[in-house]
């Protein structure tokens, strides 16, 4: 059958309840296996480097971006080049299918739904995706922090193209570095030897820390929070998103009936049905991570990931298109927390300070300390600013607009 005709189903039954729980159907089943495979590979990598002394893969991918910025072309930098190339060719497929952090973030989402954690379900059931209006500034600051060692090198005029596989030290290191679980100065610690058992312990702690980060972020900001609020890498990805005319995109391949299930279920808060209405049948939003939840939820197969042009929309669209669905102009449905810019600026400073204090437990704890600092400070500000708190509570109770 002609592929385009096959997609041209003209109805959209909306009775299929879908909230991202279904990891056993559609694309989500394959995503689950992809994330499991990535974590198995990371474990193998860990053992290869620390136990079997195979340095060819490099120590950690964390230093990929700083290495590339410092023109130090090691394994991690090459990996980053491939990732950037993949974004140019396929969009942010890397984020939705391969990034280990996304795997942990979605695992936390699944656990919190399974255990029906009340604070989280309050956001999750309405797919309330909280954010700060200044998220791109936050991401930029975090990228700058990541690049601090490189800036130091540039300041000293110490940057040359370097093709040796040697890695540069990251700003903070993984548990297990330098033979200690949590770094030299930590009051709680244990020795880590380069053997399978100890490496597994160190790997387990890396997973624990990353999971903790995902839990607290999801609890405070809704599903997929770290990707939407703090991850600095979208700054590198976004400029590559709409350059390649052959890049596959979520595309209208049937007649959309405007049920908006796709928009209501996008974990990145993209207003999918509005995107395909306004941008020649394509989702061009740079936050799209190609998770295909919108494709899976649209039971009439109106959406597909393709580089082909979209089919024409035949049924007239409803007026809802013009409704103010969100308090921003960026064609997505994240809800900005009603806090002023100075609170955002201050929350970054508090986050960095708390991160530095907590990093006494070991460098990697800097991240989790910074997250707790950020979230607790914002909660405190909500408590002190009653008008902001009331507005925030209203959003949490009702959802946003006509959800």
Residues engaged in binding ligand SF4 (CB under 6 A)? 12, 95, 99, 101-102, 226-227, 231, 233-234, 250, 256-262, 266, 268, 270, 272-273, 283, 288-294, 297-298, 300, 302-303
Least distance (Å) from ligand SF4 to the CB of residue 91? 9
Q: For ligand SF4, which is the closer residue by CB, 50 or 400?
A: 400
Q: For ligand SF4, which is the closer residue by CB, 181 or 294?
A: 294
Task: Give the DSSP letter of residue 361.
Answer: G
Give Cα separations from 193 to 10, 228, 233 (angstroms): 62, 37, 33
CA-based Rg of the chain, rounded to a whole angstrom? 22
Beta bridge partners of 335: 130
Per DSSP, which regions of 275-390 are E strands?
Answer: 303-306, 335-336
Least distance (Å) from ligand SF4 to the CB of residue 28? 10
Least distance (Å) from ligand SF4 to the CB of residue 111? 18
Instruction: Show the tokens assigned to 43.
Output: 């474990």
Rounded to whole angstroms, how far apart are CA atoms 34 and 341? 39
Going by C-alpha positions, the residue among 5, 1, 18, 3 that lies closest to residue 295 is 18
Least distance (Å) from ligand SF4 to the CB of residue 384? 31
Contact present, 339 and 378 (Cβ < 8 Å): yes
Least distance (Å) from ligand SF4 to the CB of residue 70? 20
Q: For ligand SF4, which is the closer residue by CB, 239 or 340?
A: 239
Least distance (Å) from ligand SF4 to the CB of residue 312? 14
Least distance (Å) from ligand SF4 to the CB of residue 86? 12
180 backbone dihedrals φ, ψ, rounded to 5°: -125, 145
- Residue 353: count of CB within 10 angstroms of its CB: 14
Going by C-alpha positions, the residue among 94, 99, 104 that lies closest to residue 210 is 104
Rounded to whole angstroms, how far apart are CA atoms 328 and 274? 14
Least distance (Å) from ligand SF4 to the CB of residue 229? 10
270 backbone dihedrals φ, ψ, rounded to 5°: -90, 135
Least distance (Å) from ligand SF4 to the CB of residue 271? 9
Going by C-alpha positions, the residue among 286, 128, 34 that lies closest to residue 120 is 128
Q: For ligand SF4, which is the closer residue by CB, 192 or 348?
A: 348
Can you list the alpha helix ranges (DSSP code H) found in 268-340?
272-278, 293-297
Contact present, 249 and 284 (Cβ < 8 Å): yes
Rounded to whole angstroms, how far apart are CA atoms 50 and 176? 9
Rounded to whole angstroms, how far apart are CA atoms 24 and 8? 26
Least distance (Å) from ligand SF4 to the CB of residue 9? 9
Q: For ligand SF4, which is the closer residue by CB, 150 or 266?
A: 266
Q: For ligand SF4, which is the closer residue by CB, 26 or 55?
A: 26
Task: Give ∠ CA 376-378-384 in degrees, rounded to 5.
Answer: 105
Task: Give the DSSP letter of residue 180.
Answer: B
Q: For ligand SF4, which is the closer residue by CB, 83 or 350?
A: 83
Q: For ligand SF4, which is the closer residue by CB, 51 or 171?
A: 171
């Amino acid at each position: 059958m002609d592929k385009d005709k096959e997609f041209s189903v003209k109805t959209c039954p909306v009775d299929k309840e879908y909230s991202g729980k279904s990891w056993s159907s559609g694309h989500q089943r394959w995503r689950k296996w992809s994330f499991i495979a990535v974590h198995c590979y990371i474990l193998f990598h860990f053992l290869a480097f620390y136990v079997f002394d195979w340095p060819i893969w490099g120590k950690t991918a964390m230093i990929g971006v700083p290495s590339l910025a410092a023109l130090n072309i090691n394994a991690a930098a090459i990996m980053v080049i491939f990732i950037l190339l993949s974004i140019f060719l396929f969009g942010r497929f890397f984020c939705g299918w391969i990034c280990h952090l996304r795997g942990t973030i979605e695992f936390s989402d699944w656990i919190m739904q399974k255990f029906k954690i009340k604070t989280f379900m309050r956001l999750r059931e309405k797919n309330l995706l909280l954010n700060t209006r200044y998220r791109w500034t936050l991401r930029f600051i975090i990228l700058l922090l990541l690049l601090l060692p490189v800036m130091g090198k540039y300041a000293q005029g110490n940057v040359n193209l370097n093709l040796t596989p040697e890695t540069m030290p990251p700003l903070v290191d993984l548990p297990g570095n330098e033979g200690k679980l949590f770094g030299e100065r930590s009051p709680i610690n244990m020795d880590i030897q380069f053997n399978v058992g100890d490496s597994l312990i160190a790997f387990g702690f890396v997973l624990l820390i990353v999971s903790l980060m995902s839990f607290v972020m999801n609890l405070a900001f809704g599903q997929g929070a770290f990707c939407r609020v703090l991850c600095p890498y979208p700054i590198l990805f976004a400029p590559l998103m709409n350059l390649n005319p052959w890049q596959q995109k979520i595309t209208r391949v049937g007649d959309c009936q405007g049920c908006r299930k796709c928009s209501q279920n996008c974990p990145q808060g993209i207003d999918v049905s509005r995107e395909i209405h306004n941008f020649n049948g394509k989702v061009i939003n740079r936050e799209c991570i190609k998770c295909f939840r919108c494709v899976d939820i649209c039971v009439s197969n109106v959406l597909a990931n393709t580089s082909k042009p979209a089919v024409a929309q035949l049924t007239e669209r409803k007026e809802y298109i013009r409704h103010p669905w969100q308090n921003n102009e960026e064609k997505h449905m994240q809800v900005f927390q009603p806090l002023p810019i100075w609170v955002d600026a201050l929350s970054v400073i508090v986050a960095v300070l708390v991160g530095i204090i907590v990093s006494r437990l070991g460098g990697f704890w800097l991240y989790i300390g910074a997250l707790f600092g950020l979230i607790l400070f914002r909660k405190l500000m909500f408590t002190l600013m009653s008008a902001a708190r009331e507005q925030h509570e209203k959003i949490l109770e009702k959802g946003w607009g006509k959800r």
